[in-house]
């Protein structure tokens, strides 16, 4: 089912956990020459995968990179975002052609030219020819994913409360802000499970510190909020502030735990705290040390974290700034024309996330020195691993929420991811929709986007429509950047419509959690493109704005401004479930074929496959207070296999499934 082909001396990434011997056969499907792998596609070949990337679910026609990048503008011209997810499925089966999965295990920059330079050629290239390539076969698209997932290990499991609604903002600056958010949701009677703390909860952006002035008696705040059923989730940034007297910095410096420049000095870069250093997460001892620091916060009652800036993001480096000033001097000597003016203007802009910097510091990984750029894509992954290993050491019986911005395949075992700094744009509802199934292929199941959009200003209609997708993603978080318009569900006047929709999410939590857990435990996909469920349906194959969610549901969110509804393709007879403006649900039959479905802003429509059921419970104020006895089954099936557990166990099994009948 899976074959491994090793070229020269690849760097070990830990992405694959199964013990697979390298095959002595020649690599099938591809022609291998000059650090490149070439595959010839037919006109009908579809190419799936690449996890968190822009553009279509079928990735054909563009050039992508596996290179973790802090890029806050997710437009179609981008080649990579925060994750490097080098898994593809090539499919031309329904036309009698090939079908196989392929994973390129390579921790540095890798390019996927998928019919961009030449329409019929897929070219995968790396700088060095040291790489492990895995070819994965399977009887169906879904089976190929399962076979791949079985070699990369089981996906991270979030605690059940993290399936509730979560509110974030950069930043809630004070304790009073946090309480105000909770009160406002309470007043609107909108359920809420968590409030996020962004970098301003810290003292001068120093990891593992708390600003006592703005968050006095933090531990009490944590337990007070928990008594109200709401968890606080603080952010942790990758870089550590350079500051005498700051224990994390001083300990790390004394022990030589930070990444070094070529002379062996700590490599200093600028991120939020100003001058910072990078903990060398790839070194086990450093990972353990940094991971143990999370205990400072878990000891105060914190049960979840998000890891940020771990591509790692670099605003500037000390050396880069020196070089830039020298360059600027040159411009002072000449009389600027248009071209030299733009060059001059860019001198500082070019400093951020520069290749010079990524080539200028080193890691100590498995006892060997590596230039950062040679293992670039492992950095965020090992930060997440260091946190997750620490949770397992200190809190082995309870899950801790962990999700990261940067990732590589392998990181899916240690945490979820969110898709980073999107915009409050209509097109970004659709971007999120397309990212979800591709991420599931690569093992990232606990995932979602910043609902409402991170950058830019959100409007009432946009947030309502965004909810119609996000209520189905495991990570269900509203987050927004500093300086943007308030984006909480109570920030747009009347809250009733938001309440009905968020209530529906809670009514769906038994289903969402159950389907997510089954997907994790079976190495399966929670969210799928239609083509994965209806392989022989030529129409379904190219539908990229509808998704399958779990075993029973198909969604078709409205994602365009001013629309009264949308066209939906129904691939087989289904039950249509509609959330009405008054919060009630209406069930009706809908036949296979094309339909225009009216969906007002304050309504949600989704579909249940024939012969299947969806369990819906009563609304609840938070996940913990969901009453499973209130579950009723919708759809034409007779029963539903409900997975249920205490929401915390770290040893879940499929034995926790009970069959509930109508
Ligand atoms: O340079 O911590 O993606 O979610 O709010 C921006 C501030 C740093 C980027 C994250 C975003 C977060 C923000 N961070």
Q: Are 176 and 224 in contact (CB under 8 A)?
A: no
Ligand 1 probe mutation, 73, 269, 405, 421, most atoms within 8 A of CB: 421
Residue nearest to atom 5 of ligand 1 (CA): 170
Q: How far apart are CA 268 and CA 271, in angstroms?
A: 10
Looking at residue 558, its pLDDT comes to 98
Per residue in 606-645, pLDDT (tens digit) is 999 999 999 999 999 999 999 999 999 999 999 999 999 9
CA of 485 to the centre of ligand 1 (A): 16
Rounded percentage of the chain residues whose pLDDT exceeds 70: 100
Looking at residue 180, its pLDDT comes to 98
DSSP-based three-state secondary structure for 260: strand
In the block, tokens 């022990």 appear at 255
Q: Are 411 and 417 in contact (CB under 8 A)?
A: yes
Q: How far apart are CA 523 and CA 510, in angstroms?
A: 20
| Atom from ligand 1 closest to the CA of residue 168 | 5
Q: How many CB atoms lie within 10 A of CB 48?
A: 24
Q: To the nearest 10°, report the CA torsion of 381, 265, 317, 128.
A: -50
User: 420 in ligand 1 pocket by Cβ < 6 Å?
Assistant: yes
The radius of gyration of the chain's CA atoms, rounded to the nearest angstrom, is 25
The token pair at 379 is: 């950095």
Q: How far apart are CA 85 and CA 141, in angstroms?
A: 17
Diameter of the chain measured on Cα atoms: 82
Q: How deeply is 590 buried, as exposed, middle or buried, from its count of CB atoms within 10 A (0-12, 13-18, 19+)?
A: middle
Looking at residue 494, its pLDDT comes to 97
Going by their DSSP bridges, the two strands 131-136 and 121-126 should be labelled as unpaired
Q: Which pLDDT band holds residue 234 (cuts at 50, 70, 90)?
A: very high
Q: How far apart are CA 237 and CA 316, in angstroms?
A: 16
The token pair at 499 is: 């309440």
Closest to 567 measured CA to CA, from 539, 588, 587: 539
DSSP-assigned states of every residue in 1-35: -EEEEEES-PPP-----S--PBPSSPPSS-EEETT
Question: Mean per-residue pLDDT for 525-529?
Answer: 98
Q: Are 451 and 474 in contact (CB under 8 A)?
A: no
- Report how far apart, in Å, the C-alpha atoms of 490 and of each of 237, 451, 526, 596 are: 29, 14, 30, 31
User: 421 in ligand 1 pocket by Cβ < 6 Å?
Assistant: yes
Per residue in 236-268, pLDDT (tens digit) is 999 999 999 999 999 999 999 999 999 999 999
DSSP-assigned states of every residue in 155-185: PP---GGGGS-EE--TT--SHHHHHHHHHHH
Ligand 1 probe mutation, 449, 481, 484, 487, most atoms within 8 A of CB: 481
Looking at residue 406, its pLDDT comes to 98
| Atom from ligand 1 closest to the CA of residue 405 | 3
CA of 271 to the centre of ligand 1 (A): 11
Go through 283-320 and write b for each residue having 16 or more CB atoms within 10 A of its CB, e for each that does not: bbebbebbbbbbbebbebbbbbbbbbbbbbbbbbbebb
Q: Are 454 and 422 in contact (CB under 8 A)?
A: yes
User: 405 in ligand 1 pocket by Cβ < 6 Å?
Assistant: yes
Q: What is the mean pLDDT of the chain?
A: 98
DSSP-based three-state secondary structure for 426: coil
The token pair at 252 is: 């790390």
Domain boundaries, the chain: 2-152, 511-661
**Fold equal for 2-152 and 511-661:** yes
Per residue in 74-133, pLDDT (tens digit) is 999 999 999 999 999 999 999 999 999 999 999 999 999 999 999 999 999 999 999 999
Looking at residue 485, its pLDDT comes to 98
In the block, tokens 């991971």 appear at 291
In the block, tokens 């810290």 appear at 202
Residue nearest to atom 8 of ligand 1 (CA): 309
Looking at residue 68, its pLDDT comes to 98
Q: Are 565 and 599 in contact (CB under 8 A)?
A: yes
DSSP-based three-state secondary structure for 362: strand
Q: DSSP letter at 267?
A: P
Q: How far apart are CA 544 and CA 528, in angstroms?
A: 10
Ligand 1 probe mutation, 196, 197, 198, most atoms within 8 A of CB: 198
Per residue in 211-222, pLDDT (tens digit) is 999 999 999 999
Q: How many CB atoms lie within 10 A of CB 70?
A: 21
CA of 591 to the centre of ligand 1 (A): 45
Bond before 90 cis per omega within 30 degrees: no
Bond before 312 cis per omega within 30 degrees: yes
CATH classification for the domain delimited by 511-661, as one of 2.60.40.4040, 3.40.1190.20, 3.30.420.10, 3.40.1800.10 = 2.60.40.4040
Looking at residue 388, its pLDDT comes to 98
Closest to 141 measured CA to CA, from 177, 100, 80, 82: 100
Question: Mean per-residue pLDDT for 296-315?
Answer: 98
**Helix H segments across 104-261?**
141-152, 175-187, 218-227, 247-255
Question: Mean per-residue pLDDT for 547-572?
Answer: 98
Residue 454: phi and psi, rounded to 5, are -85, -65
Helix (H) or strand (E) holding 379: helix 379-394
Q: How far apart are CA 346 and CA 537, in angstroms?
A: 50
Q: What CATH code is assigned to 2-152?
A: 2.60.40.1760
Residue 256: phi and psi, rounded to 5, are 70, 35
Q: To the nearest 10°, report the CA torsion of 592, 593, 599, 604.
A: 40
Looking at residue 478, its pLDDT comes to 98
Q: How many CB atoms lie within 10 A of CB 164?
A: 25
DSSP-based three-state secondary structure for 326: helix
Per residue in 461-489, pLDDT (tens digit) is 999 999 999 999 999 999 999 999 999 99
> Please, which residues have CB within 8 angstroms of residue 223's CB and are 6 or more apart in sequence?
301
Q: How far apart are CA 493 and CA 491, in angstroms?
A: 6
> Please, which residues have CB within 8 angstroms of residue 533's CB and are 6 or more apart in sequence?
142, 540, 548, 571
In three state form, how does the secondary structure of 480-493 look?
Answer: CCCCCCCCCCCCCC
Looking at residue 541, its pLDDT comes to 93
The token pair at 409 is: 């395949």
| Atom from ligand 1 closest to the CA of residue 308 | 10
Ligand 1 probe mutation, 207, 308, 404, most atoms within 8 A of CB: 308
């Amino acid at each position: 089912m899976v074959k491994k082909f090793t070229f020269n001396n690849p760097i070990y990434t830990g992405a694959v956990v199964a013990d697979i011997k390298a095959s002595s056969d020649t690599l099938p499907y591809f022609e291998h020459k000059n650090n490149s792998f070439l595959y010839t596609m037919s006109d009908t070949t579809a190419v799936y995968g690449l996890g968190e990337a822009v553009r279509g679910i079928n990735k054909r026609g563009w050039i992508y990179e596996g290179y973790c990048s802090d890029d806050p503008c997710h437009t179609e011209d981008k080649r990579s975002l925060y994750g490097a997810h080098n898994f593809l499925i090539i499919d031309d089966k329904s036309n009698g052609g090939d079908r196989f999965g392929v994973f390129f295990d390579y921790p540095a920059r890798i390019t996927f030219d998928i019919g961009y330079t030449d329409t019929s050629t897929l070219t995968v290239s790396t700088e060095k020819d040291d790489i492990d390539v895995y070819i994965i076969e399977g009887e169906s698209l879904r089976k190929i994913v399962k076979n791949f997932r079985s070699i990369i290990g089981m996906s991270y499991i979030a605690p059940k409360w993290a399936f509730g609604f979560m509110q974030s903002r950069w930043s809630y600056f004070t304790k009073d802000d946090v309480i105000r958010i909770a009160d406002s949701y309470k007043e609107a009677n909108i359920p809420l499970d968590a409030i996020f703390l962004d970098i301003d909860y810290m003292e001068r952006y120093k990891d593992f510190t708390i600003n006592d002035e703005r968050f006095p008696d933090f531990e009490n705040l944590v337990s007070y909020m928990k008594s109200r059923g709401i968890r606080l989730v603080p952010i942790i940034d990758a870089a550590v502030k350079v500051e005498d007297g700051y224990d994390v910095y001083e300990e790390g410096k004394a022990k030589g735990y930070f990444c070094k420049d070529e002379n062996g000095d700590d490599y200093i870069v600028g991120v939020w705290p100003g001058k910072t250093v990078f903990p060398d997460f790839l070194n086990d001892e450093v990972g353990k040390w940094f991971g143990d620091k999370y205990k400072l916060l878990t000891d105060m009652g914190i049960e979840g974290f998000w890891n940020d800036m771990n591509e790692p993001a670099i605003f500037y480096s000390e050396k880069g700034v020196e070089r830039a000033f020298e360059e600027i001097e040159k411009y002072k000597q000449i009389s600027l024309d248009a071209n030299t003016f733009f060059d001059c203007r860019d001198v500082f802009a070019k400093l951020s996330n520069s290749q010079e910097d990524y080539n200028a510091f080193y890691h100590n990984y498995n006892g060997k020195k590596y230039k950062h750029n040679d293992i670039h894509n492992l950095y965020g992954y090992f930060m997440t691993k260091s946190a997750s290993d620490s949770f397992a050491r200190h809190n082995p019986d309870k899950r801790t929420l962990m999700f990261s911005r940067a990732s590589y395949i392998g990181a899916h075992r240690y945490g979820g991811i969110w898709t980073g700094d999107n915009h409050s744009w209509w097109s970004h509802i659709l971007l999120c929709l397309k990212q979800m199934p591709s991420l599931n292929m690569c093992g990232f199941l606990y995932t979602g986007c910043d609902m409402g959009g991170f950058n830019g200003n959100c409007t009432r209609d946009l947030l309502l429509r965004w909810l119609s997708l996000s209520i189905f993603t495991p990570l269900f978080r509203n987050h927004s950047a500093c300086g943007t318009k308030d984006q909480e569900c109570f920030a747009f006047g009347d809250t009733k419509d938001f309440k009905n929709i968020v209530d529906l999410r809670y009514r769906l939590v038994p289903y969402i959690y159950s389907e997510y857990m089954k997907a994790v435990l079976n190495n399966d996909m929670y969210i799928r493109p239609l083509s994965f469920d209806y392989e022989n349906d030529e129409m379904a194959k190219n539908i990229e704005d509808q998704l399958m969610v779990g075993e029973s549901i198909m969604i078709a969110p409205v994602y365009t401004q001013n629309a009264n509804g949308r066209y939906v393709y129904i691939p087989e007879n289904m039950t249509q479930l509609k959330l009405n403006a008054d919060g009630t649900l209406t069930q009706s039959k809908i036949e296979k074929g094309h339909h225009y479905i009216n969906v007002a802003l304050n309504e949600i429509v989704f579909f249940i496959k024939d012969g299947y059921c969806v369990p819906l419970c009563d609304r609840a104020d938070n996940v913990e207070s969901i009453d499973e006895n209130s579950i009723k089954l919708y759809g034409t099936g007779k029963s539903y296999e409900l997975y249920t557990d205490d929401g915390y166990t770290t040893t879940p099994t499929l034995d926790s499934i009970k069959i509930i009948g109508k």
